[in-house]
Amino acid sequence: MIASVERSQVSGEVAVPPSKSYTHRAITISALGTGGSVKRPLLSADTRSTIAAAEALGAGIEGEEELLVAGVRGRPVTPDDVIDVDNSGTTLRIISAVAALTDGAVLTGDASIRRRPNGPLLKSLCDLGAEAFSIKKNDCAPLVVRGRIRGGRTILDGRVSSQFLSALLISCPLAEEDSEIVIDGELKSRPYAEITLEMLEEAGAKVETDFGRFFVPGGQSYRLERYTVPGDFSSASYLLAAAAVTGSRLVVRGLRPSKQGDSAIVTILREMGAKISWKEDEGDLTIEGGDLEGVEVDASLTPDLVPTIAVLGSLARGRTVVKNAEHVRHKETDRLSAMAVELSKMGADIEERADGLVIKGGKLEGARVSGHHDHRIVMALTVAGLVAGDTRIDTAESVSVSYPGFFEDMAGIGCRVQVGE
């Protein structure tokens, strides 16, 4: 599908969608425990993949605005068929580790998933007693997991994705024996691991850590009876950026302080010159855009913000630098390359580096650009189109991965955007 974007201003108010990261974890942990309810879940293509995978492993899940979960009480079953995660990397990594609590499973996904690396996770599952390998011997799906993790000690490479750590942290408490996970190198995207730990604690599990070493007692159980999913700062970044680059005033509802690393977008926008008033207890954030100034951003903890920051930098005065973002190359697409290529088509002065981007702000012009079948690329380029005008973005349907109502919400605050074949 093609999204056609014209120059626009935004105004009014909009409610941010629920967090994808919290929804994935709430579904999985509840399904592995006694069950319960997950209120205000994000129902997107990615989270529906996690629901389907949890059901394949024996859980019962029904509902829309509130998910009612019948849990497996620590005993997931061997699935009857291959688990297809579609485009969800989070589902692939977490459910691969959960599958190591069964007699075995095969997991695969779409073409993008079949290019994403999983070597550190496969190695750790083997260290902990399971047999886990890539059928094509390239560390990518299809993956086979056989046998069960018992516990033990593993050294996990932290430089590729924190999803590997989150997957182990969710599964290891249900192993028979204690587990020790030692992080080799810098732990990328640490806030996502902190979200996992927060939810495990809420479910009654215990993990000891200094973020260099994680000690996980075995023989634990989960009890997450009622959980309400918070708002998603990753999705909010596009709404906030839309106001910032168009010099508009917008109220975004549903944003309360959170362990989500992408809550850093609030600080970044303030540093760039946007005026922000945040009633944290009520969850209402008001932003007024205007002249933006370039900034330097360390993306090691906030990889999903990189496309948004690239657009902001392209429209800000001066120089914007994104660094420590090499792990962004291992997402749905190589997001550093994709943003450099597509914003260049729109006239941006942007240099791609091994670990980031250097952008000299200026004027963007309308162009035909590609969304690379990547929801975050599509949404970021939509924001760029609000200033450039006459912008056409392909693979627009990919927003269903994390923000199914994105174009409707954008139109509701005044954006001139249409989606069609």
As annotated, the binding site includes 20-21, 25, 89, 116, 161-163, 189, 304, 331, 335, 376
Known catalytic membership, residue 86: no
Q: Which of 84, 304, 374, 409 is catalytic?
A: 304
CA 280 vs. chain centroid, Å, equals 23
- Per DSSP, 380 falls in state H
Edge to edge, the sheet with strand 417-420 lists 368-369, 391-393, 2-5, 417-420
Three-state SS string across 181-249, please? Answer: EEEECCCCCHHHHHHHHHHHHHCCCCCEECCCEEEECCCCCCCCCEEECCECHHHHHHHHHHHHHHCCE
Number of helical (H) and strand (E) elements in the chain, helices listed first: 12, 24
Residue labelled with tokens 């693979």? 395
Using CB atoms within 10 Å of the CB of residue 231, give its burial: 0 to 12 exposed, 13 to 18 middle, 19+ buried: buried
Binding residues for phosphoenolpyruvate: 20, 89, 116, 163, 335, 376
Residue with tokens 């390239």: 138
Torsion of CA 421, 20, 247, 392, to 10 degrees: -20
- Among all residues, which ones are annotated catalytic? 304
